Amino acid sequence: MPFCGGDRLREAYRRAQAERFAFMANNVAEPNILIGLLEASTEARSDLLVQISPGAAKFAGGGDKRAGLRGLSALIRELAAPYPICVFINLDHFTRGEMELIEEAIEDRLVSSIMIDASQEAFEENIRLSRAVAEAAAGTGILIEAELGKIKGVEDEISSDEALYTDPDEAVEFVERTAADLLAISVGTQHGVSKGRDLELRVDLAAKIRDRLAAAGLDAPLVLHGTSGLLPEQVQEMIGYGICKLNKDTHYQYVYGRTATEFFAEHATDILPPEGVEDDVGNLFARGDWSPNKKAFDPRAVGAEIQARVREIAHALIEQAGSSGKTLWEAREDQQ
């Protein structure tokens, strides 16, 4: 059963720290991106970290976050089962409004790790909320990621007009007092679409935070959000400074939209009625001579294209993160 819990994920991050690589943390809200990621990760012999945001849970649940979260978690675990890699599930940007869901995810072991995002709150309140989640997860193995500093841009239901860089001294106090396992830092990356060259990226700050934590005897892996606009060389630099988790959402969303746009443009005449034909969607054109082509409009047709394209892009991103060939999974008999 390749869905792996927090204990295995902790081991994966330790290895990433020791061998200087990172994991791409990929958001999913439906099966196509997930399947592309599973295929690419297995081919690359990389473990896979997928994340569910509150917005994705709400979407997948038809407006019901709880149903969506349980449904997506079950889908990921079931689809992951035959793949010979470790597949981890993280909750992405869960906030104070989702405390009940967080507790349920811990109780029912739906995930491997949870990000509690209270970075919009004042420092003390951020500590209080992050610590509460760390305490709720204590003894379960589930890892807790907390964030200090604000990341510019809009992610899901969280938005921030300005970037607020993480203060290295506050970072030490924050990790000590929250007992968070992972620390998400703000060093100038942005959520959403951004250009690598335009970012006021402060790579030095990641190094400073890592050093300050190490001096205090803390080894929490660092997490970077909003990495879709980073250039490969910037990613490399950040990994060198102790970043072990790179969040990727926007990039795959673009790949999804781009692939669908090209596919439907190519097949437009198979789907749209030609001029002079009555637009009779209600009766699926049963009255006339013209019929749309099922091979073009079946969602599985475009879905297969999206899966293939995600698979291709994921290979490049896994290479960038350096996690290829690093899977903890071994085909031991007790794991088959």
Nearer to Zn ion, 53 or 259 (CB): 53
Least gap, CB of 173 to Zn ion (angstroms):
22
Stretch that binds Zn ion, among 170-178, 244-252, 272-280, 326-334 (CB under 5 A): 244-252
Nearer to Zn ion, 44 or 206 (CB): 206
Least gap, CB of 275 to Zn ion (angstroms):
46
Q: Candidates 208, 210, 225, 315: give the one binding Zn ion (CB under 5 A).
A: 225
Using CB under 5 A as the binding rule, the residues of this chain from 47 to 66 that contact Zn ion are none
Between 245 and 284, how does the x/- string for binding to Zn ion read (CB under 5 A)?
Answer: --x-------------------------------------
Least gap, CB of 237 to Zn ion (angstroms):
20
Stretch that binds Zn ion, among 66-74, 217-225, 296-304, 320-328 (CB under 5 A): 217-225
Nearer to Zn ion, 98 or 155 (CB): 155
Least gap, CB of 131 to Zn ion (angstroms):
20
92 catalytic per annotation? yes
Nearer to Zn ion, 58 or 225 (CB): 225
Nearer to Zn ion, 247 or 323 (CB): 247
Q: Candidates 47, 145, 155, 181: give the one binding Zn ion (CB under 5 A).
A: 155
Annotated catalytic residue, options 47, 64, 92, 279: 92
- Give me the sign of the Cα torsion angle 106, 109, 111, 112: positive
Stretch that binds Zn ion, among 134-142, 222-230, 258-266, 296-304 (CB under 5 A): 222-230
| Active-site residue list | 92
Q: Which residues bind Zn ion (CB under 5 A)?
A: 155, 225, 247
